[in-house]
């Protein structure tokens, strides 16, 4: 084997190891791609086994083009993935922009963890505002919980007008941060995250309405 032939697998192995290290460093304290903030659902291809997902009580919806999906927050998420060995391919293949940058040495561990903390704080702020506006179903992804809650409603009080404005600002700030730090810059078919979606989203909350 030539030097070039041995260098290519070594480089690929090093990149995979760096990604895995970044995952170990960041994901246990994050969960944003499992808890309904970053994505609204997870897609499963036709050929993937779904029996084990059903056995774990994960409700699967058939998709018009074939395959399945289930909504987030993922029922298997409780601080970590309870079906890690059996998780769908999309979950295995997805690496957010922060993990990718950490693996490439473009961001320090401290800065990456600070990014996660601040994003989680912003997501919590959105949730609190939603609850103050009359509550919403925590089993739904954040995008759906926000839907229709930012528009003016006839007869609403001044306090409610202010709350809705506050919610809109909080959602905008969250969408901006997620777009800047978490959605991968370039996305292939395997990661399920369409970068163009962010630019074409018609409303702030629809920017979060993606399938992983
Ligand atoms: S959003 Fe990124 S850092 Fe957070 S759990 Fe998912 S892959 Fe890990
Ligand atoms: S199956 Fe696991 S990795 Fe995939 S969304 Fe659910 S908790 Fe996250």
Q: Where residue 188 falls among pLDDT bands split at 50, 70, 90?
A: very low
pLDDT in tens, 145-183: 998 788 778 888 899 999 999 999 999 999 999 999 998
Residue 187: what pLDDT? Answer: 42
The protein residue with its alpha carbon nearest to ligand 2, atom 5, reads 34
pLDDT in tens, 51-67: 888 888 899 999 998 99
Q: Where residue 3 falls among pLDDT bands split at 50, 70, 90?
A: low
Residue 134: what pLDDT? Answer: 82
Strand partners, 211: 41
**11 domain-assigned:** no
Tokens of 147: 């839907």
Q: Which residue has the higher pLDDT, 151 or 72?
A: 72
Residue 90 has pLDDT above 60, yes or no: yes
Establish whether residue 30 lines the binding site of ligand 1, counting it when its CB lies within 6 angstroms of any ligand atom. Answer: yes
* Separation CA 53–CA 57 (nearest Å): 7
Domain of residue 53, residue span = 16-208
CA of 105 to the centre of ligand 2 (A): 26
CA 112 from centre of chain = 16
**142 domain-assigned:** yes
Residue 148: what pLDDT? Answer: 78
pLDDT in tens, 99-142: 999 999 999 999 999 999 999 999 999 999 999 998 678 889 99
Atom of ligand 2 nearest to the CA of 84: 2
Average confidence score pLDDT of the chain: 86
Q: Where residue 16 falls among pLDDT bands split at 50, 70, 90?
A: very high
**82 domain-assigned:** yes
Three-state SS for the chain is: CCHHHHHHHHHHHHHHHHHHHHHHHHHHHCCCCCCCCCCCEEEECCCCCCHHHHHCCCCCEECCCCCEEEECCCCCECCCECCHHHCCHHHHHCCCHHHHHHHCCCCCHHHHHHHHHHHHHHHHHHHHHHHHCCCCCCCCCHHHHHCCCCCCCCCCCHHHHHHHHHHHHHHHHHHHHHHHHCCCCCCCCCCCCCHHHHHHCCCCHHHHCCEC
Of 147, 122, 120, whose CA–CA distance to 133 is shortest?
147
Q: Where residue 200 falls among pLDDT bands split at 50, 70, 90?
A: very low
What number is the average pLDDT over the span 8-14?
76
CA of 12 to the centre of ligand 2 (A): 25
Domains identified in the chain, total number: 1
Atom of ligand 2 nearest to the CA of 39: 5
* Separation CA 39–CA 141 (nearest Å): 7
**pTM summary value:** 0.85
In the Cβ-directed half-sphere of 161, how many Cα atoms lie within 13 Å?
A: 5
CB 123 within 8 A of CB 171: no
Of 32, 115, 31, 116, whose CA–CA distance to 79 is shortest?
31
**88 domain-assigned:** yes
Residue 209: what pLDDT? Answer: 74
CB 25 within 8 A of CB 108: no
**7 domain-assigned:** no
**9 domain-assigned:** no
CA of 77 to the centre of ligand 2 (A): 6
Residues constituting the chain: 212
**195 domain-assigned:** yes
Residue 192: what pLDDT? Answer: 36
Residue 203: what pLDDT? Answer: 65
**3 domain-assigned:** no
Q: What percent of the chain has pLDDT over 70?
A: 84
Residue 19 has pLDDT above 90, yes or no: yes
Residue 69 has pLDDT above 70, yes or no: yes
């Amino acid at each position: 084997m030539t030097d070039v032939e041995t260098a290519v697998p070594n480089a690929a192995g090093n990149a995979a190891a760096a990604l895995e290290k970044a995952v170990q460093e960041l994901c246990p304290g994050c969960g944003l791609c499992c808890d309904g903030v970053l994505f609204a659902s997870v897609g499963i291809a036709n050929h993937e086994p779904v029996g084990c997902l059903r056995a774990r009580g994960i409700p699967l919806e058939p998709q018009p083009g074939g395959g399945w999906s289930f909504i987030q927050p993922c029922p298997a998420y409780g601080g970590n993935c309870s079906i890690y060995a059996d998780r769908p391919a999309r979950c295995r293949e997805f690496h957010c922009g922060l993990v990718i940058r950490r693996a490439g040495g473009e961001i320090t561990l401290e800065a990456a963890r600070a990014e996660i903390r601040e994003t989680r704080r912003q997501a919590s702020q959105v949730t609190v505002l939603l609850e103050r506006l009359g509550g919403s179903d925590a089993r739904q992804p954040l995008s759906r919980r926000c839907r229709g809650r930012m528009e003016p409603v006839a007869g609403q009080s001044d306090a409610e007008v202010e709350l809705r404005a506050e919610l809109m600002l909080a959602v905008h700030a969250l969408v901006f941060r997620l777009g800047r730090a978490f959605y991968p810059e370039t996305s292939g078919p395997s990661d399920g995250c369409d970068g163009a979606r962010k630019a074409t989203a018609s409303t702030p909350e629809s920017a979060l309405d993606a399938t992983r």
